[in-house]
Amino acid sequence: MINYIYDGSFEGLLTAIHEAFYRRENPAGIFSAHNLQTNLLDSNIYVSTDILKYEKVQKAIIEKISSQSLQDLFYVFLSENINAGTWIYRYLKLGFRMGCKVESFLTDETVHIINKTSQRVLREYHRMLGLLRFKLIAGNVYYAAFRPDNNIVALLAPHFEERLPMHNWIIHDVKRNLSAVYDCSSWVLTDMEISPDINLDDKENDYNGLWKQYFKSIAIESRRNPRLQKNFMPKRYWDFLPEKQP
């Protein structure tokens, strides 16, 4: 079987898809080089990222399907599922024939997977908008650590750039060692080493205390709904929430 291998970027993925269509090949899979798991009988074709080819595919998706599909496919890419590239390729093979109708063709297995996966990524993004907690650290920088299931740092950064434009901040995905760093003018993604156990500014101890007090006040027994609380605030996120610390 033939597999296409790309460099792990979204630009690289769309470049690989461009090559598959251009060469009229039908690869069994399109995989990121970062999580490659193929057997010795496979024939792997490594595709170099080409921005012009990436832009052609991006434009074709918008014009022949829709901008919504492009957004959904990007969310699927952010899921980092080992099969994400293959799903996206198969979706586009169908979508370039059907046009925007493909988005509602949920009886197709690939379309169903794309829809389900993109919604899962989007749900986590919206959940983290409410769960992300910043603490003030040395240098007057606000720091938030979290461990998301999906690679959503780049989705969160524009939101907090708009909400906290006058503060320096860092949003740190400790699972991937990936951070969005903002300096009151623009933000960048970096994989620099940052310890999630950064010392707090003195003021931050009071801030965390307020969070704990607030959480307890809204979780009194007469109003408590543990099931709803766990659905909105899954336990896997509790390590980074001050209101859940003793």
Confidence of residue 202 (pLDDT cuts 50, 70, 90): low
Confidence of residue 232 (pLDDT cuts 50, 70, 90): very low
What is the pLDDT at residue 197?
60
Considering the entire predicted model, what is its pTM?
0.79
Q: Is the pLDDT of residue 62 over 50?
A: yes
3-state secondary structure the chain: CEEEEECCCHHHHHHHHHHHHHCCCCCCEEEEHHHCCCCCCCEEEECCCCHHHHHHHHHHHHHHCCHHHHHHHHHHHHCCCCCHHHHHHHHHHHHHHHHHHHHHCCCCHHHHHHHHHHHHHHHHHHHHHHHCCCEEECCCEEEEEECCCCCCHHHHHHHHHHHCCCCEEEEEECCCCEEEEECCCCEEEECCCCCCCCCECHHHHHHHHHHHHHHHHHCCHHHCCHHHHHHHCCHHHHHHCHHHCC
Domain ranges of the chain: 2-123, 132-244
Q: What is the mean pLDDT of residues 172-182?
A: 90
